[in-house]
Amino acid sequence: MNFEIVLSILALLIAYDTVSGEREQGTLKLILSGTVARHQVLTGKLLAGMTTLVIPITMAFIVVLLIFRLSPNINLSGSDWVALIMMYVVSLICISALYNFGLLCSCLTKKSTTSLMFVLLFWIILAILIPNISVSLAREFCAPEPAAKTDKQVAALEAEFDRKYNEFKKTLPPPAEDVFYGHGAYGAWYINVCTQSGMQRFQQLLMYRDPLREKHAEKVWKVNREYFRKLVRQKSFADNISRCSPIASYGHIMSVLSGTDLNSFEDFMEQAITYRNAISQYIRSKTDNFSSISYFSTAGKEDIEEYTRLVQNYLEAVARAKKASGNDSIVGFLTEHHEPLKRFTDKIEERSQSLDLSDLPGFAYKSRNIIDSIRSCLFDIVMLILTNVLFFALSFVAFLRYDVR
């Protein structure tokens, strides 16, 4: 938004005294006293003004291109280059329309101060009033339901998920205290090793929880998507009203060509949801629909059996020690029986390796086709061109009748 604001005010300030200023200085009367036709004078002023404005625009785009080329993380495709060229051309068309309006004001007034007053008023209307009025009207006539309602629906879905999950957990045996957790490449946490009964509990828990979580995420996305589409309709309503401003139209065109408009954001979100589903299918294929022990543990079948045996020996030693001493505080006494458990779990953790994710599906955002982008903003481009023609035609008629005295 700042770029078009600076360009628009620059174009108007350069154009406002091109005719009226020379009339005040007396140079316009001197020029027209020769054999030069009025239309040639007006065309020359247009070309001179546009040459002055093309320089900063071109320099700005050159700097942007240099940043893109020097950045190792940015690779411009053919469509990106076409979009950049279109953005440059549209910038020239927009700045030309504003310059022509300034030229028109200069042709309609005899004093440059009067012309300056008109162009500043025009700029305030186009750059400030129309965009803000369009937003206010969109809020009044095309406002979506309050965001609190959507948040309430999402909170209800969260509560439903927690309720179902907690109810299912109650049907399972209580969690074992002999679970050793690890941290690393397998996620925020994973089970290093536990007994056979503990593994069965985790299998049942995850086989229920993760499919339920997928369905829950889909429901939440549908609620948020519906609200987002209402916001898009509201934004489109405001854009349609603000199209009478060349400055607002220019901002809309640039956002479409650069892929930063709300429709492009919705495309990105849809592709992200598709990728999430692909990741889910990948995990399902690797873990037999979340039922494999490898989904949440690095231990093998033999490790689980050995660990179950060691735990059983440890519990039997605890029972014997309690019976012999009659004292429940026997942790120090049982150190020699606990040591095999610790050595075994340390061995499994040292043996753990990072997951092989070489076949994990990658995410590559496919931006909108440049032809589709141009089509979606073609109306605004045509309106800018027609605005150019209209303002210059009016300037031409006004200059032909201009009194240079």
pLDDT in tens, 358-379: 888 999 888 888 898 999 899 9
76-91 tens-digit pLDDT: 888 889 999 999 999 9
Say yes or no: 155 and 54 in one domain: no
Quick check: 159 pLDDT over 90?
yes
- As a whole number of angstroms, the distance between CA 341 and CA 349 comes to 12
How large is the average pLDDT for residues 97-111?
91
Q: Quick check: is 359 in a domain? A: no
Given pLDDT bands bounded at 50, 70 and 90, which one contains residue 94? very high
Residue pair 250/1 in contact by the 8 Å Cβ criterion:
no
Q: Residue for token digits 């495709």?
A: 77
How do residues 200-253 score in pLDDT, each as one tens digit? 888 888 899 999 999 999 999 999 999 999 998 998 899 889 888 899 899 899
Q: Are residues 50 and 107 in the same domain?
A: yes
Tell me the C-alpha distance between 203 and 205, whole Å: 5
**Does residue 134 share a domain with residue 164?**
no
Q: Write out the two tokens for 61.
A: 């785009």
**H/E run at residue 116:** helix 112-124
Instruction: Average the pLDDT over 128-134 and give the result.
Output: 91
The pLDDT score that the predictor gives to residue 334 is 47
Tokens 């919705």 found at: 266
Q: What CA–CA distance (Å, rounded) separates 13 from 120?
A: 9
Residue 327 has pLDDT above 60, yes or no: no
* 73 lies in some domain: yes
- Residue 17's closest CA among 93, 122, 117, 126? 117
Higher-pLDDT residue of 134 and 7 is 134
Same domain, 109 and 224: no
Q: Please determine, for residue 185, whether its predicted confidence score (pLDDT) is greater than 50.
A: no
Helical axes 262-287 vs 196-242, angle rounded to 10°: 170
Q: What is the pLDDT of residue 328?
A: 52
Which amino acid makes up residue 352? S
**Taking the CB of residue 259, how many other CB atoms lie within 10 A of it?**
19
Q: How many domains does the chain have?
A: 2
| Length of the chain, in residues | 405
Residue type, 309: R
Of the candidates 399, 380, 401, 404, the one whose C-alpha atom is nearest the C-alpha of residue 15 is 399
**pLDDT at res. 89:** 94
pLDDT at 326 over 70: no
* Rounded Cα–Cα distance for residues 15 and 106 (Å): 7
Q: What is the pLDDT of residue 180?
A: 57
Q: Give the DSSP letter of residue 35.
A: S
pLDDT higher than threshold 60 for residue 75 = yes
186 confidence band (pLDDT: 50, 70, 90): very low
Q: Are residues 29 and 115 in the same domain?
A: yes
Q: Looking at residues 296-309, what average pLDDT do you find?
A: 80
18 and 160: one domain? no
Backbone phi and psi for residue 352, each to the nearest 5 degrees, phi listed first? -65, 140
Listed in sequence order, the residues at least 6 apart from 103 whose beta carbon sits closer than 8 Å to its beta carbon are 15, 18, 19, 42, 45, 46, 49, 391, 392, 395
Residue 254 within a domain: no
**Residues 8-24: pLDDT tens digits?**
888 999 998 888 888 88
Q: Which of 31, 27, 20, 37 is nearest to 403 (CA)?
A: 20
Residues 132 and 187 in one domain: no
Confidence bin at 96 (pLDDT 50/70/90): very high
Q: Measuring CA to CA, how many Å separate 389 from each of 98, 126, 223?
A: 11, 18, 47
Strand partners, 193: 180
Is 277 domain-assigned? yes
Which structural domain range is residue 292 located in?
147-244+260-351
**118-128: b or e for each residue (b if 16 or more CB lie within 10 Å)?**
bbeebbeebbe
> What pLDDT was estimated at residue 333?
45
Report d(CA 199, CA 205) in Å as an integer. Answer: 10
Which of residues 330 and 247 earns the better pLDDT score?
247
* pLDDT computed for residue 68 by the predictor: 87
- The whole-chain average pLDDT of the chain stands at 85
* Burial classification of residue 52, based on how many CB atoms lie within 10 Å of its CB (0-12 exposed, 13-18 middle, 19 or more buried): middle
**Residue 74: per-residue pLDDT:** 82
Lookup result for tokens 């007006």: 42
Q: Does the pLDDT at position 100 exceed 90?
A: yes
Tell me the average pLDDT across 347-360.
75
Cα–Cα distance, 300 to 344 (Å, whole number) = 13
- Same domain for 133 and 170, yes or no, is no
pTM of the predicted structure, to 2 decimals:
0.76
Q: Which of 49-58, 151-160, 258-267, 309-318 has the lowest mean pLDDT?
A: 309-318
Three-state DSSP state, 111 = coil
Are residue 17 and residue 33 in the same domain, yes or no? yes
Instruction: Compute the average pLDDT of residues 115-121.
Output: 91
Q: Are residues 271 and 391 in the same domain?
A: no
Q: Is residue 356 part of a domain?
A: no
Nearest to 102 by CA among 130, 129, 122: 122
Predicted confidence band of residue 92 (pLDDT cuts 50, 70, 90): very high
Mean pLDDT within 169-174: 85
Q: How far apart are the first and last CA of the chain?
A: 41
- Tell me, yes or no, whether 318 lies in a domain: yes
Identify the pLDDT of residue 365.
87
pLDDT at residue 330 greater than cutoff 50: no
- Residue 201 and residue 173 in contact, taking contact as beta carbons nearer than 8 Å: yes
- CA distances to 102, 203, 308, 317 from 179, rounded to whole Å, are 77, 14, 11, 19
Beta pairing, strands 180-184 & 187-193: antiparallel
188 within domain boundaries: yes
pLDDT of residue 176: 62
Separation between Cα atoms, residue 334 and residue 317, nearest integer Å: 8
Mean pLDDT calculated for residue range 310-319: 76
